[in-house]
Structures are given as C-alpha cells and as structure tokens.
Amino acid sequence: MLRYSRADLYSEDVPLADIAARVGTPAFVYSSRAILNNYCAYHEAFAELPHTVCYAVKANSSLAVLRLLADAGAGFDIVSGGELFRVLKAGGNPNKVVFSGVGKTAAEVEYALESGIHSFNCESESELALINAMAARRGTTAGFAIRVNPDVDPSTHPYISTGLSEHKFGIPIADAIAVYERSRDLGNLSAEGVSCHIGSQILDPTPILEAVDKVVALAGSLRNAGFPIRHLDLGGGLGVAYRPGEEAPGIREFIQGLRTRLGASGLCIMVEPGRSIVGQAGVLLTRVLYRKKNGDKEFVVVDAAMNDLIRPSLYRAHHEIIPLRRRNLPRITADVVGPICETGDFLARDREIDNVLPGDFLAVCTTGAYGFVLSSNYNSRPRAAEVLVEGDRSRIIRNRESYEDLIRGETI
C-alpha cells in the first residue's frame, strides 16, 4: 500500500508528506487496507475449514486497529488483562478471545472468566490449578488448551524463538498427555484444544508444519482418550520481508499448506498472527534534524529514536528508510540516529540512503508490528502520534503525548 507517485510517497491515496506536515513527527501511519487484506488472506485461505483467525494483540494494540479487525470478524490472542481490556473497548467478541502467556495472575484469570473468553492457552500445571479454582468459585467451567512445546527450531532470532525445550514457554509435548490426564480431576475445566506457538519472524514455514504434525497427532490421541478437544491453535509467527529481496512466505500459500495437513482432522483451526497482519501496514515518519560527520563517518540525526522504535537496537533489526519526497542526488552511506543519549540509539547503521537535508522527511518502513507497542518515554520523550489511512482519508487514532502526559500519575 506504500508507493511513489512521481516523487511523493503515498500510503493508499494519501501523500505521507501531508500527514507529516499536519500531524508532526515522529508519527506511525497505518494502512487500513493493508491490515484488512492480510486478515482476509488468512480468513479466505481457510475457506470451508472451520477456523478463527485470532489476531495477536501484542503486535499492535491500538484501539482503532483492533476495531478494524473486530469489524472484519477477527478473534484475538491476548497475553495480559490490559490487552483484554483493549479488545473489549474496541468492540471485540470475548467469545473469540484466547489468552496466552506463562505468567497469568489470579486477577487476570478472574477478569478473563468474568468476560467470558473462549479459552486459556495454559503453560503450566499450576496455572491449570489456578484457573480451575477460580472457575469453581464462579460456578463455571473454563475451556483450556495446553500450550505444548513441540521442540522444533524455528531458525529465527533467539529472543523471539519459543518452541525449543530450553525455552520458558509451554509444556514439553512428551509430558502433555499426562498433564491432560491429571486435569480430569479438576472439575471446572474442559479440555477444548491443543495449542502451540514456536516463535516469530519465521521465514521458512517448514518448522511450523513440523510442529503442526506433532500437535495433530497429540490431538488425535487425546480424542481417543475421551477428551472433548474441539480446536487446534497453531499460534502465529509467520515472518514478513524487512529487506528488499527478502522472501517471506505468502499467507495464502502457508494456510493452504496447513489445510492439506488438517483437512481431515475435524477440528476448528485457530491461528494467532500478529506481525504478518500489521507489520507491512505501518511506517514511522521522522524528520531529519541535522547532518554531521565525525571523521569519516556520516550521521543523519532524525527526530525518531529508540524509544519510538526499539527493534534496530534490541534485535539488530533492519528497516528500510526511504524519503517522503525523492530527490535526484547521489546517495550517501550514513548511520541514521535519534536524539537519545545512548550509542545504542540508532535506526540504521552504515546504510546507503537518499541524500537528505535537514527538514526532509523519511519513512522507516515495516513498522506496523512491534513498533509503537514497544515504545517508551525514555529521555522523557512524549510518545509518537498514530494515524490510520483509509483510502484518500487519514485520521489521528492516538494523539502525540504532551509534557503533561509524561508526568500523569506522579506525585512529588
């Protein structure tokens, strides 16, 4: 949805320079069409197979984004009570919510039960016991799936890899049957499904398919043992292309690959995509403040920093950086850095980019996922504004924070 028309960069039918001028920078801009296209790619590829696409809220939890997906019929994968609050505020259907995470608190479990979520993805036996006790106190039955750890290597960055036995997530798949068996003694639980999620930014889907085969086999054994098991939750993790020429799996092809393995299972299939729905739908707009040279090294200092987008600093992630208005000048090689007082504050290092001047605007691409949600107020920097584009219209969906916002809730 990002394209140049003559020299100007557009999101859908809106020139991004207009948004930068009107809203200021830094600002995240999301294309609603891109988000909906990606959601529909999942939904339509499942075709007649019973399914729910549970968008992983942690990738981008802005209310307007959640509303867009709720209206399209999405379910939601949440990892905290705060995310549940957001989903409900945005009009999401609690009956399509699954709750993942290794550290659910009693208060969060209570809130989820009270809201009537579909199912808990449980990651330990103590968590099962807690959910059972809280459901008993309310006189209800809680649906659960055990998140199994299939011990496959997703070949991604170590911080976002989750499916190996050394990781904190899930219950080893070899122990799962015994845990389901012991859950029979917990009278307020219903074994609704089996879940897994092996990692994020996965560019080769083979390990996901390997995990799926293991989980399908487990679900079959559980059904034979008399457990209800109505759904399989296969998690998220499909990667997106961050670099030019990088190949990411197509959503439709990936789901078609799943369908051939799952068609006969008779189970409702759930997936929990985050990045592959919103990643490429977003850009971070920033303004060039200064150009400077230290020795041979060239720096472009911009007004967005690691507090706005931490992925380059945290994961050494690559984001393309392109001008909102192209000039025909020789390109330069520079570090693109923010104003934060840390050497780790950079958006790109030794990068060949357009020859930009102070006052020019740049777009940091593919920042719709794990962008704003990971932002902070470090260095007492107000957090960025967010804008949603719909066709030839754009609207602010989150105001830029003010200095007053920075000290809200504090006392001296």
Ligand X SMILES: *Cc1c(COP(=O)(O)O)cnc(C)c1O
* Smallest separation, CB 117 to ligand X (Å): 14
Nearer to ligand X, 56 or 68 (CB): 56
* Smallest separation, CB 235 to ligand X (Å): 5
Region label for 316, one of left (φ > 0), alpha (ψ between -120 and 50) or beta (otherwise): left
Chosen residue from 62, 149, 183, 200 binding ligand X by CB under 6 A? 200
The two beta strands, 268-271 and 97-99, are unpaired
Can you read off the two tokens belonging to residue 63? 């209310």
Chosen residue from 77, 303, 308, 386 binding ligand X by CB under 6 A? 77
The interface region with ligand X, picked from 222-230, 273-281, 288-296, 336-344 by CB under 6 A, is 273-281
* Smallest separation, CB 209 to ligand X (Å): 16
Chosen residue from 43, 58, 86, 230 binding ligand X by CB under 6 A? 58
The interface region with ligand X, picked from 230-238, 287-295, 320-328, 404-412 by CB under 6 A, is 230-238
Q: How far apart are CA 224 and CA 405, in angstroms?
A: 56
205 binds ligand X (CB under 6 A): no
Q: How far apart are CA 224 and CA 93, in angstroms?
A: 31
Report the candidate in 152, 186, 180, 156 with the shortest Cα–Cα distance to residue 166: 152
Q: How far apart are CA 340 and CA 357, in angstroms?
A: 20
59 binds ligand X (CB under 6 A): yes
* Smallest separation, CB 319 to ligand X (Å): 16
Half-sphere exposure (Cβ direction) of 330: Cα atoms closer than 13 Å: 2
Nearer to ligand X, 52 or 100 (CB): 100
Burial 342-362 (b: 16+ CB within 10 A, else e): eeebbbbeebebbebeeebbb
80 binds ligand X (CB under 6 A): no
Chosen residue from 31, 32, 62, 100 binding ligand X by CB under 6 A? 100
Nearer to ligand X, 31 or 156 (CB): 156
Chosen residue from 274, 282, 312, 371 binding ligand X by CB under 6 A? 274
236 binds ligand X (CB under 6 A): yes
- Indicate which residue of 40, 54, 268, 341 is catalytic: 341
Q: Facing residues of 146 across strands?
A: 122, 194
- How many residues lie near ligand X (CB under 6 A)? 17
- Radius of gyration of the CA atoms of the chain, in A: 23
163 binds ligand X (CB under 6 A): no
Report the candidate in 200, 229, 203 with the shortest Cα–Cα distance to residue 215: 229
Q: How far apart are CA 372 and CA 314, in angstroms?
A: 14
275 binds ligand X (CB under 6 A): yes
237 binds ligand X (CB under 6 A): yes
Nearer to ligand X, 100 or 313 (CB): 100
3 state SS for 199-237: ECCECCCHHHHHHHHHHHHHHHHHHHCCCCCCEEECCCC
Q: Is 341 a catalytic residue?
A: yes
Active site residues: 341
Contact positions toward ligand X, by CB under 6 A? Answer: 56, 58-59, 77, 100, 197, 200, 235-238, 272-276, 369
